[in-house]
């Protein structure tokens, strides 16, 4: 098994939590990511954000969105393996 596959398996295992405390932490992470995404989106859409600042915020927004989607994907995969 390659190093990349080992890392993916480890990541999925990390998202196989069952306790309410872990679920609450996960939900909190999603909320923080969503808030950060909203902040960057408002910066991108603001008429006061110009040039490179808009590009930078758009890049940050894309990165936050990718992270959020990856968290959700890992949790879904973990839940499939737990069933």
pTM score of the predicted model? 0.82
Question: Which tens digits make up the pLDDT trace of 25-72?
Answer: 999 999 999 999 999 999 999 999 999 999 999 999 999 999 999 999
C-alpha 60/C-alpha 67 separation (Å) is: 11
**What is the arithmetic mean of pLDDT over 5-27?**
91
Q: In this structure, what token pair is assigned to residue 5?
A: 């596959």
36 and 66 Cβ atoms separated by less than 8 Å: no
Cα distances (angstroms) measured from residue 26 to each of 10, 11, 72? 17, 14, 10
Query: Above 70 in pLDDT, residue 23?
Result: yes
At residue 5, the pLDDT reads 84
Domain residue spans of the chain: 3-82
Query: Above 80 in pLDDT, residue 83?
Result: no
């Amino acid at each position: 098994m390659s190093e990349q596959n080992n890392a993916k398996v480890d990541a999925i295992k990390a998202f196989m939590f069952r306790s309410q405390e872990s679920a609450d932490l996960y939900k909190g992470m999603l909320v923080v990511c969503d808030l950060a995404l909203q902040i960057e989106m408002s910066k991108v859409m603001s008429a006061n954000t110009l040039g490179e600042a808009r590009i930078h915020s758009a890049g940050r927004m894309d990165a936050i969105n990718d992270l959020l989607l990856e968290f959700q994907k890992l949790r879904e995969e973990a839940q499939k393996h737990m069933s």
